[in-house]
Chain A
Amino acid sequence: MSIKNGITIEEFIESCNKFCEISERLSDGWKFYGNEVDKYKSYIKKCSFLQQVKSDINTLLRAEFVIFYNLSYGVPSFSFNVWNSSGVLLSLEEIRQMSLISINKDNFFSIITQQEHPVLLRPYFVIHPCHTEVLLRELKEVSKNIIVTFLGLVTPLLRLDLPFEYGL
């Protein structure tokens, strides 16, 4: 039933589990949230704090990164939200300006959009899957862990540390 060359939900969950085992060893903060009732709603999440320096004022932001399974495209998808210290959601333009993400302005808004999260059912910023889909299909055969490979594709866009040890 899976879309040709995409990954199945079972492969996704297995990779997530392995990835989170490594993450735990490295204390990198990724956790697996399995869903017994609906396996398609399983995901991994990492919460962290980001420093923002704006006109010499240092503020702390809270960020949440979620990787879920995109059923239509048959690929993992990357989503995130960033809140300021008062709990207000940062806008996409604010996120673009803090260069958490290095994509030029023209492409930025076509690659990242706010969507209702298919799993968490709340607004999240989602990196559009069609940009990762093609690459991921080609890399699938040589990948040891599809989540590591996927994050390798996404992390150049995001200031998100991915320890080398994941590749070992």
Chain B
Amino acid sequence: MANDREVLREIWDGKLPICFQLAQEEIMEIQQPDPFYVMVPRLSYFPLVTDKMKRHFLRFISQENADSEMWLDYNGQPLKWHYPIGFLYDLFCGNDPQLPWTLTVHFTKFPEDVILHCPNKDIVEAHYMSTVKEADVLKHRGQVMSTMQKKDHNQLWLGLQNDKFDQFWAINRRLMESHGDNEGFKHIPIRLYSDDGTCNQRLVSPKNGDGSRKNLNQMISELYPDKNDVKFRTHGVTLPLDTPLQWLSEHMSYPDNFLHLCLC
């Protein structure tokens, strides 16, 4: 069970300063819009934190595009809203930190071959809940999510959406418990990303064949037998190689209950 509350709190409070700039081709006014600065939680998703920014830029764009779907890019690469903000930053800027993180805002030419459509926040919620469910299938064969009530699911989502740590963890702690006599999850919900954004998912057990706790280094030598000096970053931190996977999963998972680790 996730016991190191200070770690959970520290990760929850992680924030990123973002500078949003309207793409030049969108600007329809003579006057240039000011960039829009905001601090956003690393654990949140862009569609949950961009309402104000959108309103700020709306009067500078062509009114016929006012209702079209807004999207963001960093250095010409469209940002996938269905990943947590902090993960996207680690992926694109992990090796070369840039603060504030300057992103470009678009209202036209939605890259539908790259980004999922997100007409409203219900889509974000549906995506979030299905990811939590998938993580629970890996950890507990889906038993915790299926025994929870609808109001528990809501509380989890609202806790994240409204940045309420206690509300969120009151429910999430149940998802972080190990069941039965074995200490640990069945599998660790983990996604490993290369710097080109390609993702590898593997079935990873929190234990070695002999029953001892598996650490990050042991996982790396299993998954990348040919590579030396593999390191992973998450929440802006390069992970110590001797970190046990079970502890990592309980404390450093994103609210969607997955560990999202970037190869660095």
Contacts and interface: CB of A to CB of B under 8 A. Distances in A.
Interface of A: 1-4, 38, 40, 71-73, 88-89, 91, 109-110, 113-116, 118, 121-123, 128, 130
A4 B127 contact: no
Contacts, number: 58
Contact of A122 (B113, B201, B202): B113
By secondary structure, the A interface counts as: loop
Contact of B137 (A73, A91, A121, A122): A73
A123 B202 contact: no
A121 B199 contact: yes
A92 to B, nearest CB: 8
B242 interface: no
B78 to A, nearest CB: 11
B203 A1 contact: yes
Contacts of B138: 72
A116 B80 contact: yes
B115 A72 contact: no
B117 interface: yes
Interface in B187-215: 187, 189, 197-203, 205
A104 B187 CA distance: 35
Contact of B115 (A109, A123, A130): A123
A114 B110 CA distance: 15
B141 interface: yes
21 contacts: A3-B186, A3-B187, A71-B202, A72-B134, A72-B135, A72-B137, A72-B201, A73-B137, A88-B112, A89-B112, A109-B126, A110-B126, A113-B127, A115-B82, A118-B201, A121-B197, A121-B199, A122-B113, A122-B114, A123-B114, A128-B130
Contact of B82 (A88, A116, A118): A116
A123 B112 contact: yes
Contact of B141 (A3, A88, A110, A114): A3
Nearest to A2: B203
A116 B260 CA distance: 15
Nearest to A115: B116
B133 interface: yes
A71 B187 CA distance: 11
Contacts of A91: 117
A116 B116 contact: yes
Q: Which 6 pairs from chain A and chain B are nearest by CB?
A: A72-B134, A123-B116, A114-B116, A1-B203, A72-B137, A89-B112
Nearest to B118: A114
Given A113-B126, A116-B82, A130-B133, A123 B113 contact: yes
A122 B113 CA distance: 6
Interface in B150-190: 186-187, 189
A35 to B, nearest CB: 11
